[in-house]
Structures are given as C-alpha cells and as structure tokens.
Amino acid sequence: MGGGIIGLSTAWRLSQRGMRVAVADARIMAGEASMAAAGMLAPGGEAHGDSPWARHTVEARATYPDFVSELKGASGLEIDFRECGALDVASNDEAWAELAARRAIQERLGIRVREVGEAEGRELIPLLRPGSFRALYYPDDAIVDPCQVNAALEVALKRVGVTLLIHEPVSAIEPDGDGYAIRVDDASGCRVLLRAGSVVLAAGAWSNEITLPGRVASHLPAPRRTMPVRGHLVEREGTPGALLPIAREDHLYVFQRNRGTLLTGSNEERVGFDRTPNPAVVEQILDRTDRLLPGLFAPRAENSSWVGFRPGIEGEGPELRRLPEERIWLAYGHYRNGILLAPRTAAYLAGEIAE
Ligand code: GLY
C-alpha cells in the first residue's frame, strides 16, 4: 500500500525474489513526497545524534552507488547521481559551536568530515559570499534525482510484471482467510481491490488513514502516528558546473543537478496537508540563499517552487517492523531521509517477507 519510493523499491526487491506483487496508491506512483524530495543522500547534513537510524543512514549512503547502477541496468534509464560532497558554513561562533558538537557525534558514526579554511572553502564553492566563515566539508554527502529513481523503478517493475494500481484510495486491510482483503473506499463505493497474503503499509504521511485489522490493537506497541511535515523547495535553471558540492548553512541547503538545475530548501511546517505554497516562506528561503550564495537565484521571477509532505512520525526513525502475529509490515515515517533509506528498507522488507 503506497506507491512512493519505499513501496516501489520494496516491490522491486520482492519481485526479484519471485513473489507476485501489486502496488496500490490513492493517486499516482511517486506523486507525493517521493517526487517533491530534493534527493539529498547526506548523513552529514541529517545525522544530528547517535541512534540506530543515524547509523542506517551512513550504511544506506554507502550502498547507494550499487542501487543506482543496478536500477539503471534494470530500467535502461539514466539516473543523475552525484557524489559531490557538502560544505557546511558557519559565520558566527554560535553556529560554529553547533557544527562542532554535531561533528563529534558524526565522527563516532563513521561520517567523514574535516574542517576547511576559507581559501579551500572558496575553492570548493567560488560563489560563497564575501566575508569570513568557518566550514566543515563532508566528502561523502551526495545527491540523486528522485524523479529519475522513481521513473526507473516504475519501468523496472513493469518489465517484471508487477501490477501498478493508481487512483485506488485504500481504506482498510481486513483479515480474509489466510491473508487479507484490501478495501478501497471511493466515489463508486466500498469494494475489495485485491486479496494478498502479505501486506506492506508504506503510505508515508497518509499511513494512519488506512485501517488495520481490529485484532492488531491487542498487541503493543501500537503503530506509531505519522504526520505531514511540509517543506518548500525552489528551483531554477543554471549553468551546469556552477555549484559542485552541496552548500549548507543552518538547515538551508543549495545544490545543482548535472543538467544545471539549481535547488534550494527547505523549511519545516506543521500545517497538515495544505498544498498552497506560502510566498513568504519562499522569499525567506531565497533571502537566506542570497546571503550564502549571492545572485545565484536572481532574478527571482525565474524561480519555480513547490511544497511536499515529509512523512514525519512520533519518536525516532521510521516505523519499520512486522505487526505481531500478522503478515503486515509497517514501513512509513522516513521523514527527511526516505530517498536515502529506500533501498535499505526495501532489502530489509524483502528479506523478511520472502523468508
Ligand atoms: N532531506 C531534506 C529535507 O527533508 O528537507
């Protein structure tokens, strides 16, 4: 359930193990967070504490080149994947203290990071604003184009005969003999979409809207609650090669794809599923980008922006586990790291389900 990058990559791995798989989504495949995401594969920017999940992000980053090359082979499509590194800039003592504290934890996680002086920083990113700064360089942070990953997954799935069901708003997973009936509730009424022996619930921020079998409630812990955490991204066309590493400053990130597209983001807002972009937030992102990399996103009229709903979750790390005594696996709440963690999540689920 859920045709985002988690559902699609899991379906791919399951089909490789000889299982018959269908993916259902309320809208289109990869039409939500998986499409809206920037595609940073950046434990250096995202791992702030020592936790099993932070460690998974580091391992996931290490396996990404193999995932991309296997997927390119399976789909015949190009995927823009850049092992470009990232520069985290601090222009005052407080920001530097924060980076230094984070660095100490990150080094324990095995994340490679080193301090660079101003001269090297400007060599890495000549567009950096004038004035003094201190900076950390993360050589292993990378970026991928999530839309290309999703497109390649769709092609790979179609080639191996996985059924892709779109515009099917699944409302409930109900016990049915040895397996489950997947129920859809839409304008034409309530009906059984399909029957399945095993189910993966990977509907991102919408996962709690799908009713689980009533007997699940007798087993603790209860499935954790997910909630949308909205982010804005701003994009424009640029000259390829203008910005090589990711540039970061205090949760702002700016980077460039191979074909030249520049991206900057991103804030966090808890405003439910409100799809209307907030022009004030876009201006704020652009003001901050302009302070870091003057002129890169000018003139502003040429920029485009969009919002996405990260699958936020209560507690730390995604909900990734089998429900006791059921053949239902929860796989949601990847929050800021869904693109990075998808291949690893898929491999884990396929191993468990095909066992
Ligand atoms: N991983 C970056 C973001 O969620 O904005």
Per-residue pLDDT of the chain (355 residues; tens, 9 = 90+): 999 999 999 999 999 999 999 999 999 999 999 999 999 999 999 999 999 999 999 999 999 999 999 999 999 999 999 999 999 999 899 999 999 999 999 999 999 999 999 999 999 999 999 999 999 999 999 999 999 999 999 999 999 999 999 999 999 999 999 999 999 998 889 999 999 999 999 999 999 999 999 999 999 999 999 999 999 999 999 999 999 999 999 999 999 999 999 999 988 999 999 999 999 999 999 999 999 999 999 999 999 999 999 999 999 999 999 999 999 999 999 999 999 999 999 999 999 999 8
- Determine how many CB atoms are found less than 10 A away from the CB of residue 195: 13
Rounded distance, CA 346 to CA 289, Å? Answer: 35
Distance 191 CA to ligand 1 centre (A): 37
Q: Does ligand 1 come within 6 angstroms of the Cβ of 40?
A: yes
Integer Cα distance of 124 and 34 in angstroms: 29
Q: Do residues 210 and 172 touch, judged by C-beta distance below 8 A? A: yes
For residues 157 and 23, give the distance between their C-alpha atoms in angstroms, rounded to a whole number.
10
Q: From the CA of 11, how far away is ligand 1's center (Å)?
A: 24
Closest CA to 253 of 114, 139, 142, 153: 142
| Residue 338 alpha carbon to ligand 1 centre in Å | 9
B/e letters for 299-326, b = 16+ CB within 10 Å, e = fewer, are eeeebebebbbbbbbeeebbbbeebeeb
What is the strand order of the sheet 40-41 is part of? 40-41, 142-144, 81-82
336 CB near ligand 1 (under 6 Å): yes
Q: How far is the CA of 123 from the centre of ligand 1 (A)?
A: 26
pLDDT of 236 reads 97
Domain 1-83+140-225+314-355, CATH: 3.50.50.60
- Of all protein residues, the one whose alpha carbon is nearest to atom 5 of ligand 1 is 266
Given this model, what pLDDT does residue 187 score? Answer: 87
Tokens linked to 338? 């869904």
Tell which atom from ligand 1 comes closest to the C-alpha of 266: 5
Residue 335 CA to ligand 1 center (angstroms) comes to 8
Question: For ligand 1, what atom is nearest to the CA of residue 46?
Answer: 1
From atom 2 of ligand 1, which residue's Cα is the shortest distance away?
336
All CATH 3.50.50.60 domain ranges in the chain, comma separated: 1-83+140-225+314-355
DSSP structure string for 283-329: HHHHHHHHHHSTTTT-SGGG-EEEEEEEEEESSSS-EEEEPTTSSEE
Task: Show the tokens assigned to 235.
Answer: 């994009």
pLDDT of residue 155: 98
Strands 163-165 and 22-24: parallel
C-alpha 176 – ligand 1 centre gap (Å): 39
Give the CATH class of 227-312.
Answer: alpha beta
The rounded distance, in Å, linking the Cα atoms of 22 and 188 is: 21
Cα 336 to ligand 1 centroid, rounded to whole Å: 4
Buried b (16+ CB within 10 A) or exposed e, 73-88: ebbebebbbbebbbbb
CA 233 to centroid of ligand 1, rounded, Å:
10
Residue 151, helix vs strand vs coil: helix
What are the backbone dihedrals phi and psi of residue 100, each rounded to the nearest 5 degrees, phi first?
-65, -40
131 burial (CB, 10 Å; 0-12 / 13-18 / 19+) is: exposed
pLDDT score for 122: 96
Ranges of beta strands (E only) in 45-150 are: 81-82, 86-90, 114-116, 134-138, 142-144
Instruction: State if residue 231 touches ligand 1 by the CB under 6 angstroms criterion.
Output: yes
Q: Is ligand 1 within 6 A of the CB of residue 236?
A: no
Residue 186: predicted pLDDT: 87
The reply to whether ligand 1 has any atom less than 6 angstroms from the CB of 310 is yes
> Which protein residue's CA is at the shortest distance from atom 4 of ligand 1?
336
- At 226, which helix (H) or strand (E)? strand 226-236
Q: Is 265 in the pocket of ligand 1 (CB under 6 A)?
A: yes
**Residue 84 · residue 143 · CB < 8 Å:** yes
